[in-house]
Amino acid sequence: MNLKHLLIILICISFKTIFSQGKDDFKGMALIKGGEYLPLYSSDSQKVFVKSFYMDIYPVTNVDYLAFIKSNSTWAKSKIKRLFADSLYLKHWVADTLFNMNIAKSPVVNVSWFAAKKYCECQGKRLPTNAEWEIVAKSNQTQADASKSKEFNQWVLNWVTKHSPAILPNVGSTFKNYYGVYDMHGLVWEWTYDFNNALTTGESRGNSSLDNTFFCGGGSFGSKDLNNYASFMRFAMRSSVKAKYSVQNLGFRCVKTKK
């Protein structure tokens, strides 16, 4: 083999390696096409344009989170600073790196926003914005936007009004939506990056007084879509928590910006 042939082979191997690494970066993720999103409380002129991005196909599981803890011990339940999580953090785990194996593939819950954000960052990812999450959540099995489907909205509403089981089902237990993403509804609520920006303030964004009718049932009358009460309940839930809270039915998944 002469030098020329050797160089050609090395170049081919290099390109193959680079290409494979690029694909691996998005392994276990689905590509979500960007578009316009109209927040729940807004006028038509306040539409948000969302760029295309990748989203985890499944919520983060207890096994996934265990691997994170083993590499980042300061986020273990006995070591985490109370600034970043309350006393309920990972309360369903037996110890720092131990939990009942029947929840191994269940979505991890009792995780604060700070911890979820750190987990995503360690994967080279980030938490989704409200707009990104809601765009994916609008899809059923066959439609990118099923927000006008009475059957779909009723199915989601039936779930959000039920109590969570003591042992959560494994990820992938619910339907695969239009984008190829599982469990947007049916297992757990999920953190978003800007969870505390779910509500607007007053009649104008320049008014800093929070309109109290946006809380509880009264807020549904301000919704752009009065049929989508499940969406309102998500926004109300997000606005009722703080970043250090750990909730037994609140998990998360990560996204990555499409370059």
Residue-range domains of the chain with CATH: 30-257 (3.90.1580.10)
Instruction: Give the per-residue pLDDT at 228.
Output: 63
- Residue stretches of the chain with pLDDT short of 70: 1-24, 40-45, 198-228
Query: What was the pLDDT predicted at 222?
Result: 44
Predicted pLDDT at 162:
84
The pTM score is 0.80
Q: Rounding to the nearest 10 degrees, give the CA dihedral for residues 212, 217, 220, 222.
A: -30
What does the pLDDT read at residue 231? 74
Q: What is the pLDDT of residue 223?
A: 46
Q: Given this model, what pLDDT does residue 108 score?
A: 98
**What pLDDT, on a 0 to 100 scale, did the predictor assign at position 1?**
55
Q: What is the structure's pLDDT at 127?
A: 98
The predicted-structure confidence for 81-133, as pLDDT tens digits, reads as follows 999 999 999 999 999 999 999 999 999 999 999 999 999 999 999 999 999 99
The pLDDT assigned to 2 comes to 57
pLDDT score at 83: 97
Q: Residue 139's pLDDT is what? A: 94
Residue by residue, DSSP assigns the chain as: --HHHHHHHHHHHHHHHHHHHHHHTTTTEEEE--EEE--SS--GGG-EEE--EEEESSPPBHHHHHHHHHH-GGGSTTTS-TTT--TTTTTTSSBTTB--GGGTTSBP-S--HHHHHHHHHHTT-BPPPHHHHHHHHT--SS-S--TT-HHHHHHHHHHHTSPPPSSPPPTT-S-B-TTS-B-SSSS-EE--TTGGGSS--SSSTT--S--GGGSGGGGGGG-S-TT-HHHHHHHHHHHT--TT---TTEE---EEE--
